[in-house]
Amino acid sequence: MLKETVLHNNHVELGAKMVDFAGWHMPVQYSSIIEEHKNVRQNVGLFDVSHMGEIFISGKDSIKFLQKIVPQNIENLFDSKAVYCQLTNENGGIIDDLIIYKLKDEKYLAIVNASRVDTDINWFIRNSLDFDVYIDNQSHNYSLIALQGPKSDDVLKNLGYETEQDFFTIREVLIKNIPVMLSKTGYTGENGYEILLKNKFAKEMWNLLLQAGKDFSILPIGLGARDTLRLEAALPLYGNDLSEETTPIEAGLSWTVPKDKTAAYNGKDVILNQISSGTQKKVIGIKMITRVVPRHEQEVYFNNEKVGEVTSGSFAPSINCSIALCNILNKPEISVGSTVQVLIRDKFYDAVVVKRPFINKRNSNKENKE
């Protein structure tokens, strides 16, 4: 039996096409993926991402515990600060990617992927035995609504909420008297917020945001456009681009791993060794010459040799071409500007290696104005 978010009926009433996603019955699109995608880049969009998991961590050993389970440095976070992390196993493989928020001393929040909640909880508990820490899975009590796009601030302003908030911070605030945790984060490459709130307030908040957003052409956005938006921003998706067989370094996430963290963490030896000696594999971004769409697990070739595979691929509505993230052998001769081939239905299609992310926010704004 598929799980439903509190907003399930709202999606059905809005005419969404519903699909099974990680055990949840979720909206994949309301009108058209391309239309929804462009609306987030140009205006604003509203996403129900309540399927994601919320795990609270508290207790006097919270820092020590968190320091052990992620390569990122949790020690120096100030109150309300968030950090993008990976949960690594002893080999450095990625069990999940997540955002950890410091709410206050000895109180943290982890927002994790829906498909990994159970695995993560087990891993948290296994790793917590030596620590005075309380792990509280609150996923079933919380809803998560994402407001994303250049007009996100205008929508909140229309609801009487006006503020300057730094990227990757979270605040407990009242919006129209509804208590929410307002996080300035997202999965689209746009300015925007993720609004965490108790289930009982979710319907009211969803409707308020849709109503307040009318002046700014707000649209509800399905998981289809969420995927194309995150891919253009080159943000990885667990299960496609990340897995227990990939380390953060191999996944192109070295920028998230500090070299100078003194605390021990799961997989530290492997990860530090990869930072100093390099990896066998690397991530590249490619742009197809025609609009043929590269898909997950299709093979990538260079000079007639198989060098890797596509981890995520799609048509990219903002740049009107097809793009992909690929995991390939770490060959120095494959770099930005190189031509590679993707094997799609027994035919080779040319692609050019390009810089990641695929969109540059400033450029896309320029395009919109023309």
Partner 1 sequence: MDTLKILCSKTHEYALETDSNTYLIGLTDYAIEQLGDIVFLELPEVGSTFNKGDMFATVESVKAASEIYMPISGTVTEINEEILTSPELLNEYQDEKNWLIKVDFVGDNEEFLDLMDYDTYREEVE
Least distance between partner 1 and beta carbon 334 (Å)? 25
Least distance between partner 1 and beta carbon 297 (Å)? 13
Give the separation between CA 69 and CA 95, rounded to whole angstroms: 10
Least distance between partner 1 and beta carbon 291 (Å)? 5
DSSP H helical ranges for the chain: 8-13, 33-42, 62-69, 117-128, 152-158, 199-212, 223-232, 268-277, 361-369
User: According to CB under 8 A, which residues from 310 to 339 bind partner 1?
Assistant: 314-315, 317, 322
Using CB under 8 A, pick the residue from 29, 50, 127, 327 that binds partner 1. 29
Cβ–Cβ < 8 Å for 280, 340 = no
What token pair was written down for 260?
């100078």
Question: Could you say which DSSP state residue 303 is in?
Answer: T
Cβ–Cβ < 8 Å for 98, 120 = yes
Using CB under 8 A, pick the residue from 28, 82, 234, 237 that binds partner 1. 28
Give me the sign of the Cα torsion angle 112, 281, 318, 289.
negative
- Return the number of the residue (133 or 235) whose C-beta is nearest partner 1: 235
- Only one of the segments 28-36, 47-55, 92-100, 178-186 lies at the binding site for partner 1 (rule: CB under 8 A); that segment is 28-36
Give the separation between CA 321 and CA 211, rounded to whole angstroms: 33
- Return the number of the residue (149 or 317) whose C-beta is nearest partner 1: 317
| DSSP state letters, 51-79 | TSEEEEEESTTHHHHHHHH-SS--TTPPT
| DSSP state letters, 110-121 | EEE-GGGHHHHH
Cβ–Cβ < 8 Å for 236, 63 = no
Q: Note whether 267 binds partner 1 by CB under 8 A.
A: no
Least distance between partner 1 and beta carbon 321 (Å)? 9
Least distance between partner 1 and beta carbon 154 (Å)? 27
- Residue 353 CA, distance from chain mean position: 23
Least distance between partner 1 and beta carbon 33 (Å)? 5
- The DSSP bridge partners found for residue 362 are none
Q: Note whether 247 binds partner 1 by CB under 8 A.
A: no
User: According to CB under 8 A, which residues from 288 to 307 bind partner 1?
Assistant: 290-293, 295
Question: CB atoms < 10 A from the CB of 341, how many?
Answer: 20
- Return the number of the residue (18 or 292) whose C-beta is nearest partner 1: 292
- Only one of the segments 25-33, 98-106, 238-246, 247-255 lies at the binding site for partner 1 (rule: CB under 8 A); that segment is 25-33
- Only one of the segments 26-34, 133-141, 166-174, 208-216 lies at the binding site for partner 1 (rule: CB under 8 A); that segment is 26-34
User: According to CB under 8 A, which residues from 334 to 363 bind partner 1?
Assistant: 345
Look at strands 321-329 and 281-288 and give their pairing. antiparallel
User: According to CB under 8 A, which residues from 221 to 240 bind partner 1?
Assistant: 224, 228
- Return the number of the residue (171 or 295) whose C-beta is nearest partner 1: 295
Cβ–Cβ < 8 Å for 300, 309 = yes
Q: Note whether 189 binds partner 1 by CB under 8 A.
A: no
- Return the number of the residue (182 or 225) whose C-beta is nearest partner 1: 225
- Residues lying near partner 1 in the complex (CB under 8 A): 17, 28-29, 32-34, 224, 228, 290-293, 295, 314-315, 317, 322, 345
